[in-house]
Structure 1
Amino acid sequence: KAINAKSDNMRVAGKVVSFQTKLQQAVEMVIQVAQHFAGVDIIIVCDSWFGNNGLFKPLRTKLGNFVHLLSRLRSNTVLYSIPKIGSSKKPGRPKKYGSRLGSCAEMAAAFMAYASTYHVFLYGKYREVNAYSQIVMLKTLKCPVRVVWVFRKTQWIAIFSTDLKLSVEQIIEYYGARWKIESGFKEIKQDIGSSKSQTRNAQAVINHINFSIMAATIIWIYGSRLENIPERRHKVKGRNSFAFSDLRHIIAKSALSDDFHAVCNQDNKLPRKSFLEALLRMVG
């Protein structure tokens, strides 16, 4: 409503912001990034909500065959075989799809016994993963895709890629890396506080999210340059790596230390010093 009313608080750089759906925003951002990598294959890794023609078609139209999609398949998605190219010419246009193979869940049950073990670098270490791969036709994207069924003890997931050159290991590793992005969103929204912004101005909202992303990036750069690996404050079984909150605690502790005060000028003491110290302790 505010955008349609062309309110002053909906202006960015003096221009009124036009309404865009999530898919339209995603397409625009990917195209902006792709302009810096001309002639290079681009793989978009996303969840099943974005893994459809609403994202893929406009990207292919704008960027061509250099862009590929890697996403998760829904269990009820129907898959088809690759159409056979016959030597005999029949009237009408050639078939785009072969025979119906079944739903993703039906094929998972059929392929479970034929799964192979792959050595995949996943979540910080090499793991053995049982998976099965097959190239099929996907009607939602209207193109051939490589589907990888990953089988766990009691569950399974199906991942697909429009880039048929990718190996099974690469498809699993790329999709597994997506969860690092999910944790990054959590850090920016909850730990940094982006979701708690009280701004009502479009430009202020953009500035706030940019500063939040910058703050999270600086914290991780700081953590990568530490000589010793930080100790995890909240122990979790099976996890040895440190968390984002551990880095925040180290930075807050360092900012309140005598060494930090020795570097900073303490001659001009501000009346808000105690308040700033309280904020730093809260951050830690």
Structure 2
Amino acid sequence: MSMLRDLLIPFQSAFSKARLGRERAHWFIFTLLAVIVPFTSSMSSCDSWFGNNGLWGPLQHSGQPVHLLSRLRSNTALYARPEAPSQTTQGRPRKYGHRCDSVGDLAAPFCDQARTYTVLLYGKQREVRAYDQIFMLKNLRCPVRVVWVFRKTQWVAFFTTDLTLSVTEIIEYYGARWKIEAGFKEIKQDIGSARSQTRTADAVTNHLQFCLMATTLTWIYADRMTPDPERRHKVKGRTSFAFSDVRRLIADEALSDPYSGVLARLLPTPP
């Protein structure tokens, strides 16, 4: 714990000193690496916004064997792997092969060559059509495995720097990343911080503490309820209530006059 606390010390001062967005981004990446690399696995999964050299460069310079798994933008140019130079070739060897095309332009011809895979996605075994091939990316300066996943009318492309991963693993890993991100968004929505636009470290801390205090009071309110509240949105196989159910009950009771639920028992009766 002492090492983790020492790593987090720069957060208290560097955030406010970095004026430019690029400076803050670089500081955030290196601080993130210093904190998470010693404690996590060697795969970093992200969306297309971070799937470039802005994240890959610091990962490479960290000295840790970290790979990248990300969604690929449709206008990204793909290059073939360079051919082995012959003994008679002069000059330095080529880093890239010929330009194949963009990700979007290659989707149509590769759709006919796609195979069907069975993947565990969102809690179910599903069949998906996908095609994979190894290309070179100039923005990462390394070979990557690109996977196109085709649906009825749309497609999506992923890439990873770990060439040992199979098509099934790439799809399942990215699906797990999306589930985690959706969970974070849902939690932020529940505690009231989804639309927060704070810009300083103190504002972030104050806002988060206020949200956590409100969340704690909500669960205390739920603990005092007898019987348990009913679930507003029925889900098959789920009988427990959700956080949003309690939040709605508090809002309804707060607007009622006089209080008739838990608040009537907790708050003193006015004279």
Assess same fold via TM > 0.5: yes
Verify the 8 A CA contact 1:42 1:67 in the aligned structure 2. yes
Match of 1:17 in 2: 16
TM-score by length of structure 2 reads 0.71
* Equivalent position to 2:32, from 25, 29, 32: 29
Q: Deviations over 1:107-144 (max 9, x none)?
A: 11111011000100111111001000001101110100
> Aligned letter for 1:147?
V
Distance 1:170 1:73, change over 3 A: same
Verify the 8 A CA contact 1:97 1:137 in the aligned structure 2. yes
Task: Please state how far the C-alpha of 1:62 moved relative to its aligned partner.
Answer: 1.2
Match of 1:155 in 2: 154
| Cα separation, 1, equivalents of 2:103 and 2:233 | 39
Verify the 8 A CA contact 1:232 1:240 in the aligned structure 2. no
Distance 1:95 1:212, change over 3 A: farther
Distance 1:115 1:198, change over 3 A: closer
Q: Deviations over 1:139-179 (max 9, x none)?
A: 11010000000000000011000011111011001111122
| Cα separation, 1, equivalents of 2:60 and 2:92 | 23
RMSD: 3.8
> Aligned letter for 2:243?
R
Task: Please state how far the C-alpha of 1:28 moved relative to its aligned partner.
Answer: 2.0
Q: Deviations over 1:214-247 (max 9, x none)?
A: 999xx9xxxxxxxxxx996425xxx75769x943
Question: What runs of 5+ residues in structure 2 fail to find an aligned partner?
Answer: 1-9, 219-228, 251-262
Identity of aligned residues (%): 53
Distance 1:85 1:153, change over 3 A: same
Are residues 1:206 and 2:205 paired? yes
TM-score by length of structure 1 reads 0.68
* Equivalent position to 1:248, from 243, 247, 253: 243
> Aligned letter for 1:274?
L
Task: Please state how far the C-alpha of 1:18 moved relative to its aligned partner.
Answer: 2.7
Distance 1:94 1:13, change over 3 A: closer
Match of 2:223 in 1: none
1:63-212 to 2 correspondences below 5 Å = 63-64=63-64, 66-195=65-194, 202-203=201-202, 205-206=204-205, 208-209=207-208
Verify the 8 A CA contact 1:12 1:203 in the aligned structure 2. no
Task: Please state how far the C-alpha of 1:195 moved relative to its aligned partner.
Answer: 4.2
Match of 1:48 in 2: 48
- Higher mean C-alpha displacement, 135-144 vs 15-24: 15-24
Task: Please state how far the C-alpha of 1:205 moved relative to its aligned partner.
Answer: 2.1
Distance 1:168 1:199, change over 3 A: closer
| Cα separation, 2, equivalents of 1:102 and 1:200 | 40
Distance 1:60 1:213, change over 3 A: farther
Verify the 8 A CA contact 1:150 1:157 in the aligned structure 2. yes
Verify the 8 A CA contact 2:85 2:93 in the aligned structure 1. no
- Which secondary structure does the structure 2 equivalent of 1:121 belong to? strand
- Higher mean C-alpha displacement, 196-205 vs 119-128: 196-205
Q: Deviations over 1:253-273 (max 9, x none)?
A: 9x9xxxxxxxxxxxxxx9992
